[in-house]
C-alpha cells in the first residue's frame, strides 16, 4: 500500500533524526507535495505512524515525533513486605554531587541539567533588569513569606493547574529541598514514620535522616506509580505521619500517575487522614506538551503540602522554591525564617520578572523538547551499549533514566571505579532506605552530547 510505503520512508527519516523527537512533522499537505502522494495517503501514513507509536497527534497543532517505542523492557516492581526503617548513610550522596563541579567528570549522576538545556540568556537579562531597577531592594533581605510579586505568579500558575491556592498561601523557600524539609518539620517528630515510594529520590531520604525519622518503602510500579493497595495496607498497619512522593515524572522512575490514580491516592489518604508532601519539581517538563495536574488539585481536606522549585526548569543555582503548607502557613513561615532568615532576593525578583513577562511557557516548551531528545538519545545508546537484558524506564517527562542491570551487580562499588574513570552515575542503593536496588542505576540525560559523553558511556557500559 502506498501509505505504508510513505510511513516506512518517514519512519526512516525519524530514525535518522531528520525529524527529531519532540518536533512537529510537516503538515499533511506539505508531505503530500514533498512525496508526490495524495493528501489522504499522507493522512493515512501519519495515522499508521501514530499506531506504530512514533507520532502523536495534537489537536490543531499537527503530528509530533514521540520517543520511539521501548527498546528494552521496563524495570521490575520492587519487592513488598517492608517495615519502617531508620535512614542512614546518606552522606555518600555528597560525594556524588560534588562530581558535578569536577570538570574532569562527565556528570551522569546528579540530576542537574547542563546549562545548554536552560534559558541562560533570558535569565541573565532578568537578573540585569532587577539589579538595575530594584538595586536597593536587591541588597536587602526579602523576609518570609518572600517577594509578593513572585508569590502572586506562583499562585497564578497553580490556579492554571486547577489548584485552589492564593498568593497568601505561598511561602518562598530555598528551593524544593528546603520546602520538603519544612513540610516534614511541620508534620513529624523524631521517631515518626514517613511513607515513601520505592525507589525514592535520595534527597527525601536525606531529609528523613536529618529529622530522625523512619522511612517505610511502598512498592512503586515503573509505569503506574505507587501501589495504592500496598499503601492502603501499610497505612492500616503502621502509624504513618506523612506520605512524601514526586507526583509527576518522578525521580528516579520517571512515573507520572494518571488523574484517576491521583484521585484514588487522595481518597486513600483522606480515609486514613494521612498528609501528603507532594514534590512536583518535574511536572512542568512533559514530553507531549500536556502538563499533568498536581495531586493538590484534588485536595479537599487540606492534607497536601505542595513543594516545587525552578531548579529543573530555569536554574538550580538560583535556589528558589516554594511550599504551600495550608493551615500551617504561619508555622512554616517561622521555620523558614529560623532555618535561613530569607531566600536570595535577586533570585526571587528575577524569577518574578521572568514569569511576569511570559518567558516561562516558551522556555519550558524548549527545555522539555530538548530533554525529550536527550532521553531518547540516551535510551538508544543504552540499548546499543549495555547488556541485552538491561531493563530501562520509559519516562514521559523530566530527564532521568532508571536502569535495572542483569545479574548480581554492585553499582555502589561500581560508582567508585566509574568516578576514577571520569564518569559518574547514581547507584540504585541511594534510592532506598532498605539497601535495595544495588543492581540498578540512574542516569542523568540532560548533558551535552559530544565525543566526551560518548566515550564516558562506552566506559560505563564496559564497566557494567
Ligand atoms: C525529585 C526532586 N526533588 C527535589 C530536588 C531538589 O531540588 P532543589 O534544587 O529545588 O532543592 C531534586 C533535585 O534533584 C529532585 O530530583
Domain coordinates of the chain in residue numbers?
2-65, 88-116+364-463, 121-360
427 cis-preceded (ω within 30 degrees of 0): no
Which pLDDT score, from 0 to 100, does residue 97 have? 75
For ligand 1, whether the C-beta of 232 sits within 6 Å is no
Extract the C-alpha cell encoding 122.
Answer: 533570558
Q: Which ligand 1 atom is the nearest neighbour of the CA of 310?
A: 10
d(CA 371, CA 249): 12
CATH fit for domain 2-65, picks 1.10.3720.10, 1.10.10.10, 3.30.470.10, 1.10.1660.10:
1.10.10.10
Which pLDDT score, from 0 to 100, does residue 71 have? 63
Judge whether 88-116+364-463 and 121-360 match in fold.
no
For ligand 1, whether the C-beta of 279 sits within 6 Å is yes
Distances (CA, A) of 332 to 180, 187, 214, 241, 327: 11, 10, 22, 17, 10
For ligand 1, whether the C-beta of 370 sits within 6 Å is no
CATH fit for domain 121-360, picks 3.20.10.10, 3.40.640.10, 3.30.70.1230, 3.40.50.2300:
3.40.640.10
Which pLDDT score, from 0 to 100, does residue 73 have? 75
For ligand 1, whether the C-beta of 386 sits within 6 Å is no
List, for the chain, all residue ranges whose pLDDT scores fall below the cut of 70. Answer: 68-72, 78-81, 89-91
Extract the C-alpha cell encoding 439.
Answer: 543492581
What topology does CATH give the domain 88-116+364-463?
A: 3.90.1150
Residues 6 or more apart whose CB falls under 8 angstroms from that of 403 comprise: 75, 382, 386, 390, 391, 392, 393, 440, 441, 442, 443
Q: What is the dihedral of CA 265, 271, 276, 281, to 10 degrees?
A: 20
Nearest to 112 by CA among 442, 459, 454, 455: 442
Which pLDDT score, from 0 to 100, does residue 81 have? 55
Which pLDDT score, from 0 to 100, does residue 8 have? 87
Which pLDDT score, from 0 to 100, does residue 262 have? 98
Which pLDDT score, from 0 to 100, does residue 80 have? 54
Q: Which ligand 1 atom is the nearest neighbour of the CA of 175?
A: 10
d(CA 366, CA 359): 11
Amino acid at each position: 500500500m502506498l501509505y505504508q510505503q510513505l510511513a516506512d520512508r518517514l519512519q526512516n527519516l525519524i530514525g535518522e533524526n531528520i525529524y527529531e523527537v519532540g518536533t512537529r512533522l510537516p503538515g499533511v499537505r506539505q508531505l503530500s507535495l514533498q512525496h508526490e502522494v495524495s493528501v489522504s495517503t499522507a493522512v493515512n501514513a501519519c495515522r499508521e505512524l501514530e499506531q506504530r507509536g512514533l507520532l502523536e497527534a495534537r489537536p490543531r497543532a499537527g503530528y509530533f515525533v514521540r520517543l520511539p517505542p521501548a527498546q528494552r523492557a521496563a524495570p521490575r516492581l520492587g519487592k513488598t513486605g517492608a517495615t519502617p526503617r531508620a535512614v542512614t548513610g546518606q552522606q555518600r550522596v555528597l560525594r556524588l554531587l560534588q562530581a558535578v563541579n569536577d570538570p574532569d567528570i562527565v556528570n551522569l549522576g546528579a540530576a542537574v541539567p547542563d546549562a545548554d538545556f536552560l534559558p541562560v540568556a533570558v535569565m541573565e537579562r532578568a537578573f540585569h533588569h532587577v539589579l538595575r531597577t530594584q538595586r536597593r531592594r536587591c541588597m536587602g533581605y526579602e523576609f518570609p513569606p518572600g517577594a509578593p510579586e513572585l508569590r502572586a505568579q506562583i499562585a497564578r500558575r497553580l490556579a492554571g493547574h486547577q489548584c485552589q491556592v492564593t498568593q497568601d498561601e505561598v511561602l518562598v523557600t530555598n528551593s524544593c529541598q528546603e520546602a520538603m524539609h519544612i513540610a516534614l518539620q511541620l508534620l513529624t517528630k523524631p521517631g515518626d514514620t514517613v511513607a515513601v515510594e520505592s525507589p525514592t529520590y535520595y534527597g527525601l531520604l536525606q531529609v528523613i535522616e536529618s529529622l530522625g525519622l523512619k522511612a517505610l518503602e511502598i512498592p512503586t510500579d515503573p509505569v503506574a506509580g505507587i501501589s495504592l493497595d500496598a499503601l492502603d495496607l501499610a497505612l492500616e498497619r503502621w502509624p504513618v505521619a506523612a506520605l512524601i512522593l514526586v507526583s509527576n515524572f518522578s525521580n528516579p522512575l520517571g512515573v507520572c500517575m494518571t488523574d484517576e490514580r491521583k484521585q484514588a491516592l487522595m481518597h486513600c489518604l483522606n480515609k486514613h487522614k494521612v498528609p501528603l508532601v507532594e514534590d512536583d519539581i518535574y511536572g512542568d517538563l512533559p514530553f507531549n506538551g500536556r502538563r499533568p495536574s498536581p495531586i493538590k488539585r484534588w485536595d479537599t481536606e487540606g492534607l497536601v503540602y505542595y513543594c516545587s522549585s525552578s531548579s529543573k526548569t530555569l536554574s538550580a543555582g538560583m535556589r528558589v522554591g516554594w511550599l504551600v503548607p495550608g493551615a500551617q502557613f504561619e508555622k512554616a513561615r517561622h521555620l523558614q525564617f529560623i532555618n535561613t532568615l530569607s531566600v536570595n532576593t535577586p533570585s526571587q525578583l528575577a524569577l518574578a520578572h521572568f514569569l511576569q513577562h511570559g518567558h516561562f511557557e516558551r522556555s519550558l516548551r524548549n527545555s522539555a523538547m530538548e530533554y525529550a531528545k536527550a532521553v531518547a538519545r540516551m535510551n538508544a545508546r543504552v540499548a546499543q551499549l549495555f547488556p541485552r537484558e538491561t531493563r530501562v524506564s520509559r519516562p514521559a517527562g523530566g530527564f532521568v533514566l532508571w536502569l535495572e542491570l542483569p545479574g548480581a551487580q554492585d553499582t555502589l562499588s561500581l560508582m567508585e571505579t566509574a568516578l576514577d574513570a571520569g564518569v559518574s552515575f547514581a547507584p540504585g542503593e541511594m534510592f532506598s532506605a532498605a539497601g535495595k536496588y544495588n543492581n540498578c542505576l540512574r542516569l542523568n540525560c540532560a548533558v551535552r552530547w559530544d565525543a566526551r559523553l560518548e566515550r564516558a558511556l562506552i566506559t560505563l557500559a564496559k564497566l557494567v
